[in-house]
Structure 1
Amino acid sequence: MRAAATDGLNRHITRMWPKREPEILQGGSIYWVIKGVIQARQPILRLDEVVGEDGIRRCAIVMKPGLIRTQHALKRPFQGWRYLKQEDAPADLPKGHTHEEPIPAELSAALAEIGVR
């Protein structure tokens, strides 16, 4: 669930509070998984507590506006996003690049599967 508050920042609402909160708040990002491939990230600014209409406490992950495109990396989605340790995260695309240079889909998938891409 994504929502915008009065400050205009995007939020991803999740049931569980992140266990790695200090690490996440020191430069962490949400990595967006689209069709089984990490394609972009958004830096996390802060975590806000929100209480739903049902009275249940949830976590709003507040993100910096805009997306940062990343190199594609295969990842099975579980909620369509995840935050990763730096060593597990795909590299950002160079500034000004909006997409990777196309390579055959089978080759791209094979490279991602063995961790090369």
Structure 2
Amino acid sequence: MPKSKNRRKVKSNRVAGTGAQARLTPETIDAGEGGSRSAKSEAGAPVKKKSVGPFEFYKQVRAEMQKVTWTTRGETMVSTIMVLIMVAIMSVFFFSVDQILRFVVPRILSLNLF
């Protein structure tokens, strides 16, 4: 699928699920998103996840959906046409192979080799 020219990478320091900005410290940079830190506070007690109400959830969903880069109508049309062309080519290919094997296999099986 062709890539859009208007796509850009955005490095965000948002805290997941809260909409708040996080301070980037050397510890958080070293740990990264898939770091070895567990979900425990500094004292060692498990961190409780804050429950989010339905309105806050809807607001977060809208904010995330605005970040999505959607394909243009032209890109979608080009991709669809490419898929249809490939389906047609592969259909002709498999039909041809099937017809060749339909002719060759019975002749091979009818040979008396022993």
TM-score range, shorter chain: under 0.3
TM-score, with structure 2 as normaliser:
0.15
Structure holding more strand per residue: 1
Structure with the larger helix share:
2
* TM-score (norm. length: structure 1): 0.15
Structure whose alpha-carbon radius of gyration is higher? 2
